[in-house]
Every structure is written in structure tokens, then in C-alpha cells.
């Protein structure tokens, strides 16, 4: 408790610099000690290659580490340099991304790679492209927000920028007992000013890695007995006040929209029909079976939840002698389905089709 009182003082603008430095350095040493002992070995934390770090950060947006790892390994092995990714077809990138969701990330990744390569001035003597090296240039890439730019700048170049992800919001909210919603404009501003105070400017790489990992592994949403064994509990206002488990606060979630899809699966035994989603809607440029959208009284055996939508799906098999001509569709052989980037829901439907087509 005593540390916490003084911590509050050091975070106030009126506190003495020497007290600030002393308690900051005590806080960092506890946090870093924990990190050295407990952190996971992750390939993108073992490199300073900005391209590889950028790939990992885009893949890990809204994706768990265990799932993202497989995609990261595939991407760096198939496209080891930014030039390789820029030279790929968008369809290939989407195909490799299949199953990860939020496909705009893959499209932006591809677009950004092409922008980096198109910038001919940024080349090493051997002709290789130089990845952007300042926060501002990284932030300007498609698909890169404030968090991702901070993460790449600090992990690749040790630049003094915070990387504030959901884990960091949670840790900061609890350490300082902030009950302002962190996902509002006002809340974001408040949290960013606090994290700027916390940031170890000389060791941003280590600081960001440690506080993110601490949030992911120790200061978790459900705390259990983690506070008792916490190395920084003496600095934690949420712990001292008994409010930690209630934090962080977020703004009320928008209402989820329900949609009902019927997939029409045409087959003559050897072929089927697919179509590419062209509307600026979910799964832009992914392929699926021809789909109609309306709610009926029938049963929809598939449920697929996206961030703001709940999809209910069913399918109807149409066995035909000759494939119909439906505008916007492609006739393909069944075994060619694997060559197209398909939504996860379509893949789930395909899994249940055996013996029915
Ligand atoms: S004491 Fe508990 S709430 Fe506070 S930082 Fe540690 S684990 Fe998180």
C-alpha cells in the first residue's frame, strides 16, 4: 500500500523527479524479473526483423497466439521478405489467410507490402527493400493503427512508443484503479497519458514485451489467486482497493445483428458452383456456394459469430444433370474447392457434405 501511495505521487506532475525515478526503477525491476522468468518463447519476439514483426502483429490482431503461430510460420516461410509478399497474388494471400477471419487484414497486408516495395528510394545497396523505420511511416501503412505502430517501432527499433493492447489496458486500469471505459475517446486519451508516464523510454522493447506478457499470463481477466503471488502488487491500487477484478471497464457493446444464410449447393456429381463475395460486406473477395439471405421458419443448423453479427446458416443440395448458368458464379470441379479462399463458415458446411453430393 505504501508503494502505491508513493507511486500515485510519482505519476502526478507535481512529484519530485528523483522519487519518480526511484519508484519507476523499482517497478521496472520487479516487472522485468517476472518477465525473464515467465515469458513465452515466441519467434516474433526473438527477432528484430521489422517485416517479420509486422507480419506477426497483423496476424495476432483478434487472434490467439496458439492459432496465430501456425499462420505466422507459414507466411514467413512462404514469403520471407516483403518483396516476396508484394509479388504474390491477392488471391494467394487470402488463401493462406483462410480460417483466420477478418480478411481485410490480409488485403491490407498485401497492399502495404506493395506500397513498401513501390517506394524505390528505400533500398539497401543490395537492392533489398528497407521496411519503414519511423513511427509515422509505419503508422501510415494500411491496416496499421496506433497499437500496431507502437509495437513494431518498439520491438524492431526500440523506439520509445507504447504498445497498448487489451492486456495493457487491463494492467494499467488495475494498477491505477481507473474506472473510466478504456474504449471511448476520452478513456483512450486518459490511458495513453498514463502509459506514457509508465513507459521505460530507454527500454521500450523490453517494457512493452513485459507489460503485455504480464497482462496475458498473470494479470488475467479472471484473477483467481494471481494477486497474492503478484510481483507488483505493492504498486497496485486495484488490489489495494479490492476493485481489480471489476476492471477494466468498457463501453456497452453495440447490439449484435442476426442474419440468416441459405447456401445452394449444386452438384452433377463432379462439379459444383461457387461465387465470390463482391459486396462491401463480410468476407469481401472470399468464395462460397451461391447464397440467399432471408429468415424462414426452417432450422438453421450452423451458427457463426462475428464481432457484430450472428450468422445462422443452412444449406440445400440441388442434384442436377447439367450445371445451371447463374450470373456471377463459377463452375468448378469439387476437388478444386481447395484452390479458393473460403470463409470459415463455408469450410464448416463442406465438412458436413460427405456422401451428400
Ligand atoms: S495485484 Fe492483481 S490486479 Fe494488481 S497487477 Fe497484480 S495481478 Fe494485476
Band (pLDDT 50/70/90 cuts) for residue 354 is confident
Write down the pLDDT at residue 181: 97
Atom of ligand 1 nearest to the CA of 230: 6
Overall average pLDDT of the 27-35 stretch: 97
Q: State mean pLDDT over 194-223.
A: 96
CB 313 within 8 A of CB 295: no
31 CA from centroid of ligand 1 (Å) = 11
Q: What is the pLDDT of residues 111-161, one digit of tens each?
A: 999 999 998 666 776 778 899 999 999 999 999 999 999 999 999 999 999
Task: Give the pLDDT confidence of 38-84 residue by residue, as tens digits.
Answer: 999 999 999 999 999 999 999 999 899 999 999 999 999 999 999 99
Interhelix angle 204-217/146-157, nearest 10 degrees: 120
Q: Phi/psi at 301 (nearest 5 deg)?
A: -75, -15
Give the angle 64-67-71 at the CA atoms, nearest 5°: 120
From CA 280, how far away is CA 304, in angstroms rounded? 19
Q: Which atom of ligand 1 is nearest to the CA of 170?
A: 8
Q: Identify the bridge partners of residue 156 per DSSP, sorted by sequence position.
A: none
Ligand 1 site residues (CB inside 6 A) read 171, 174-175, 218-219, 223, 226-227, 230, 232-233, 236, 238-239, 244
Q: Which residues lie across from 333 on neighbouring strands?
A: 271
Q: Report yes or no: 168 and 157 within 8 Å, Cβ to Cβ.
A: no
Number of neighbours of residue 65 by Cβ within 10 angstroms: 14
Let me know: does 206 contact 136? Beta carbons within 8 Å: no
Return the ligand 1 atom nearest residue 233 CA: 1
Query: What pLDDT is stored for residue 42 in this prediction?
Result: 96
| 146 annotated active-site | no
Q: What's residue 4's pLDDT?
A: 54
Question: Domains plus CATH for the chain?
Answer: 43-246 (1.10.340.30), 257-351 (3.90.79.10)
Residue 284 CA to ligand 1 center (angstroms) comes to 41
Amino acid at each position: 500500500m505504501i508503494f502505491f501511495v508513493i507511486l500515485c505521487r510519482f505519476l502526478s506532475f507535481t512529484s519530485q523527479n528523483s522519487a519518480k525515478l526511484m519508484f519507476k526503477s523499482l517497478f521496472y525491476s520487479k516487472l522485468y524479473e517476472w518477465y525473464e522468468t515467465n515469458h513465452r518463447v515466441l519467434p516474433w519476439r526473438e527477432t528484430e526483423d521489422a517485416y517479420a514483426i509486422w507480419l506477426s502483429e497483423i496476424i495476432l490482431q483478434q487472434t490467439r497466439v496458439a492459432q496465430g503461430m501456425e499462420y505466422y510460420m507459414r507466411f514467413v516461410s512462404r514469403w520471407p521478405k516483403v518483396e516476396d509478399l508484394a509479388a504474390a497474388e491477392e488471391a494467394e494471400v487470402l488463401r493462406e489467410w483462410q480460417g483466420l477471419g477478418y480478411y481485410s487484414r490480409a488485403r491490407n497486408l498485401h497492399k502495404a507490402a506493395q506500397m513498401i516495395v513501390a517506394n524505390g528510394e528505400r533500398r539497401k545497396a543490395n537492392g533489398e527493400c528497407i521496411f519503414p523505420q519511423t513511427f509515422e511511416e509505419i503508422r501510415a501503412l494500411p491496416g496499421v493503427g496506433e497499437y500496431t505502430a507502437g509495437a513494431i517501432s518498439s520491438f524492431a527499433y526500440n523506439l520509445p512508443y507504447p504498445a497498448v493492447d487489451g492486456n495493457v489496458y487491463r494492467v494499467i486500469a488495475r494498477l491505477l484503479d481507473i474506472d473510466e471505459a478504456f474504449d471511448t475517446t476520452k478513456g483512450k486519451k486518459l490511458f495513453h497519458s498514463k502509459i506514457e508516464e509508465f513507459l521505460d523510454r530507454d527500454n521500450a522493447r523490453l517494457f512493452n514485451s513485459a507489460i503485455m506478457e504480464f497482462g496475458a499470463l498473470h494479470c488475467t481477466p479472471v484473477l483467481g489467486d494471481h494477486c497474492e503471488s503478484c510481483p507488483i502488487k505493492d504498486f497496485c491500487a486495484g488490489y489495494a482497493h479490492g476493485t481489480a477484478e471489476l476492471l477494466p471497464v468498457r463501453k456497452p457493446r453495440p447490439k449484435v445483428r442476426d442474419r440468416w444464410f441459405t447456401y445452394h449447393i449444386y452438384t452433377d456429381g463432379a462439379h459444383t458452383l461457387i461465387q465470390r463475395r463482391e459486396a462491401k460486406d463480410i468476407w469481401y473477395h472470399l468464395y462460397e456456394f451461391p447464397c440467399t439471405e432471408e429468415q424462414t421458419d426452417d432450422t438453421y443448423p450452423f451458427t457463426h459469430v462475428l464481432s457484430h453479427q450472428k450468422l445462422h446458416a443452412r444449406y440445400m443440395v440441388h442434384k442436377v444433370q447439367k450445371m445451371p448458368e447463374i450470373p456471377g458464379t463459377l463452375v468448378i470441379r469439387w476437388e478444386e474447392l481447395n484452390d479458393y479462399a473460403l470463409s470459415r463458415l463455408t469450410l464448416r458446411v463442406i465438412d458436413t457434405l460427405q456422401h451428400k453430393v
